[in-house]
Chain A
Amino acid sequence: MIQRRPLWALAFVLPAVAIYLILIIYPLIQGGWLSLTDSQIGNAGNFVGVSNFAHAAADSTVRKAIVTTISYAAVVVIVQNLIGLALARALYNRPRIRRAVSVLILLPTLMSAVMAGFVWSSLYSPDGAINVLLRTVGFGGVTRVWLGDPSTALWAIALVNVWMFCGYSAAIFLAGYMNMPAEITEAATLDGASGFRRFWSVEWPLLAPALTVNVTLALIGSLKVFELPLVLTNGGPAGSTTTLSILIYQKIFGGQGTFAYGATIALILLAIVVIFAMGAQTVLRRRERRI
C-alpha cells in the first residue's frame, strides 16, 4: 500500500535519512573541510588548501602506517579465511558434532577486542604463559617479548585477530556449505569425486557468496583495526603497530594540536577502505556471476 502513498513513503524514510544526513554525511563533508584547514584543537581554523595532504604525502609516519595497515589486513584476511574454510569443511563432513562445535568456536567472537587484548597481553608477556610453555617443552631459544619486539608485535596482534574471528569465518563458510543444492553435492558423490578434486571443482565454486561476505567483512574489519593495537601495544614498539586508526586517534585526541591533520589521515583511511572493499566486492561478485 505504501507504493500508492508517496508522501507516506517519504515520512517513513525521513527519520533515518535525517539522522544519517546529520551524523554521517555532514561529518564526512565537515571532515573534508577540516582537512583543508589548520585547525589545531577542533577550532574553525584557517583555510590552508591541500597543504595537509602534501604534508601527509611526505610524512614517513603516515607512509609507514599505510604499509602496516595493509600488510596487517592482508595477513588477517588470508589466514583467517583459510582457517575458517578448513574448519567449515571439517564440520560439514561431520554432521553429528557440527552444531555444538560451531557454537563453541564462536566464543572468541563474543569477546570485545579490549577483553581479548587483556587475555593476550598477559599470554604474550615476557613471563607469560606462551614463553613459559615454550621453555617447558625445550624451545627456550624461541622465547621473546612478543609484543615488545618490532619484528613480531604486528603479527602477534594479527594472531589475536585471527583467533577472535576464525570461528566467525567458519560459521559463514558453514552457512555456505549448508546452502549448497543437494542435487549437485549428491551428483558429485555418485561420480565418486572426493578429496581435493571434490573441493576444488564442486565446493569451492559454490562457496562464492560465502567467500565474498567473509573477505569483505575481514577486509573492512582489519583495515580499520584500532582496539587490539591500542590495548596490546599502543602503537609501539618503535611505531611498528601504529595502524592508520591508531595514528588518527593520536593526531586528533593526543593533545598534539594536529586536529586537522588527523582529519586528513582519516580521509586517506576512507580512500583505502573504499578502494579495497569495492575492489574486492567487484572481483568477487563478478566471480559469483561467472559461476
Chain B
Amino acid sequence: MVLTSSPVHTKIVRRRRARRPISTRVGDVLLALAVFLILLPFAFTVLTALRTRADVAANPISFPRAVTLDNFVQVYAKINYGVGLINSVIILLGSLILVIVIGALAAYPLARITRGWTTGIYRIFIAGSTVPIFVILAPFYLLERDFGLLNSYQGVIFGYTALNLPVAIFFYTSFFRQIPEELEEAASLDGAGPLRVFFLILFPLLRPITATLATFLTLSIWNDLVLPLVFLQEPSMQTVMVNAYNLIGPYNVDPTVLFPAALLGVAPLVLVFILLQRQVVSGLTMGAGK
C-alpha cells in the first residue's frame, strides 16, 4: 500500500510546488537579496582582509588573487591582541560570576515573595535597565576615583556588575516563578537552611537560564568600549575593543588594517556563537513571546 501510494503522493507535492504563487516566488527573491546584502559586508571584510595592501589599493573590490595572513599578523602585534584578549577575558569572567551569583541570590526572594517590599525593589531594578551609562558616567568616574578603583580590573568589573544586575534579575525572577516550591519545602523539612537549599538545590536548576543569560551578557560586555576606555588608562590593562579603537585615526581607513582588527575582535564571539547557538538565540529573544 505504501508502495502504491507513494508515486501519487510525490506527484501531488510536485504539482503543488509548481503552483507556488508568484507572490511567494517574489518573496523568495527578496529574501535571498536581503540575506545577501546583510552578509555582503561580512564576506567583503573577510575577503579583503586576506589580500595584500598593494592589491587592495590597486583594486578595492576584487577576490583575493593570492591569500595572505600578513595583515592579521601585523594587526595582531599592533593592537597587542594577546594581552588585550587576556584582559577582556578577566573582566568578562569577573563580571559574569558576580552578576550571576548576586543576581540569582536576589531574584530568589523577589520571585517567591510577591507582596510587600520585594515588588518595589523589583520595579526599581527593572527601571534601572533603561538608565544610559552616560547619565551616570561623570559621578561614576568620581566614585571610582575616590575609591581608588581607576585603573583596576575591579573598577570595570563592579561597573558591569551594577549595569547588568537588572537584566539578570529580570531573567532569574521569571525563571524562579516556573520552579515548583515543593522542592525547597522538602529540603527544608530535611533541615537544610536557606543557603544550602539555594546553592545545592536551586542554583543547579538555573543552569539553562544561566547559560542564556551568560551568552547575552558576554555579547554586551565583550563589545563594550565605554567602561574600559574611561576607567582604564594603563595600556597593559586595556581590552581588545579599546586597543582596536585606538587604531582609528582621522585618515586611517585602510581596510587591510581595520578589517583584520574587526575580525580579530569578533572572532571569540563567533566561536561562542557556534558552540552555543541555541542559548544565543534564546538569550537575545528572551521576553519576546510572553
Point out residues on A near B: beta carbons under 8 Å.
Answer: 1-3, 5, 8-10, 12-13, 15-17, 19-20, 22-24, 26-28, 30-31, 34, 42, 83, 86-87, 90-91, 93-94, 101-123, 125, 127-129, 132-133, 136, 163, 166-168, 171-176, 178-179, 195, 209-210, 213-214, 220, 223-224, 226-227, 230-231, 244-245, 248-249, 252-253, 259, 262-263, 266-267, 269-270, 273-274, 277
Contact = CB atoms under 8 A, between A and B. Distances in A.
Most buried by B among A86, A108, A110: A110
Interface residues on B, range: 35 or more
Given A12-B106, A23-B159, A163-B41, 16 more contacts: A2-B113, A13-B109, A13-B110, A24-B162, A26-B139, A27-B136, A27-B140, A83-B34, A90-B31, A111-B262, A112-B224, A118-B244, A129-B61, A270-B135, A273-B130, A273-B135
B258 A245 contact: no
B226 interface: yes
Interface in B236-290: 241, 244-245, 247-248, 253-255, 258-259, 261-262, 265-266, 269-270, 273, 277, 280-281, 284-285, 287-290
A110 B269 contact: yes
28 contacts: A1-B194, A9-B112, A12-B106, A13-B109, A16-B125, A20-B128, A23-B158, A28-B131, A34-B139, A87-B31, A94-B31, A105-B38, A108-B38, A111-B262, A112-B223, A112-B266, A121-B248, A121-B258, A129-B61, A133-B61, A172-B284, A176-B288, A209-B290, A210-B288, A220-B132, A249-B137, A252-B141, A267-B135
Contacts of B162: 19-20, 22-24
- Ranked nearest first, the 4 interchain pairs of A and B with the lowest CB-CB distance are A112-B223, A179-B289, A23-B162, A16-B106
Contacts of B244: 114-115, 118
Contacts of B284: 106, 109, 168, 171-172
A20 B165 contact: yes
A180 to B, nearest CB: 9
A13 B198 CA distance: 13
Most buried by B among A20, A167, A173: A20
A34 B138 contact: yes
B87 interface: no
Contacts of A174: 285
A12 B108 contact: yes
Most buried by B among A113, A115, A121: A115
B131 A227 contact: no
Contacts of B273: 106-107, 110
A66 to B, nearest CB: 14
B136 A24 contact: yes
Contacts of A102: 281
Given A15-B106, A113-B223, A129 B135 contact: no
B103 interface: yes
B154 to A, nearest CB: 12
Contacts of A166: 38
A12 B132 contact: no
A33 B23 CA distance: 60
A2 B288 contact: no
A139 B109 CA distance: 63
Contact of A231 (B27, B163, B245): B245
A87 B118 CA distance: 40
B105 interface: yes
A12 B132 CA distance: 27
B258 A175 contact: no
Given A16-B102, A104-B39, A178 B135 contact: no
Contacts of B133: 224
B23 A195 contact: yes
Contacts of B34: 83, 86-87, 90
Contact of A114 (B61, B131, B142, B225): B225
A289 B200 CA distance: 40
A2 B138 contact: no
B212 interface: no
A1 B188 contact: yes
A263 B140 CA distance: 11
Contacts of A172: 284-285, 288
Contacts of B69: none
A16 B103 contact: yes
A254 B39 CA distance: 37
Most buried by A among B134, B158, B187, B223: B134
Contact of A269 (B135, B225, B289): B135
A267 B135 CA distance: 6
Nearest to A31: B139
Given A9-B109, A83-B34, A19 B165 contact: yes
B143 interface: yes
B186 to A, nearest CB: 10
